[in-house]
Amino acid sequence: MFLILLILGLHITMAKSMYTAVAGNEHNISIYDVQTGSFERSIFVTSGKIIGQPLVSASTITVTYNEGGNNWMSVFDADSFSLIRKQELS
């Protein structure tokens, strides 16, 4: 499972742990501890459908999804997992 998580997601470092983010289902992204492979939390993204794997940088997690017939992007803080911004993609 550890290797699968490394392949499917990018990593974020929080405090002393490393995490990976992957699309959990069509509405959520799942956060896993890279060292143990254990599930940490799920973040609800949309009532629509996630259309790609999350993109993780040092400070943000970006997710693209389709909602209401339009494509959107939401950016979350990688430390608090709170929504920073949501914007429609053209």
pLDDT of res. 15: 52
What domains, with CATH codes, occur in the chain? 2-88 (2.40.10.480)
**Interstrand relation of 28-33 and 83-88 (parallel, antiparallel or unpaired):** unpaired
Is the pTM for the entire model greater than 0.85? no
CA–CA dist 10, 23 (Å, integer): 11
Task: State the amino acid at position 58 in one-letter form.
Answer: A
Per-residue pLDDT band for 40 (boundaries 50, 70, 90) equals: confident
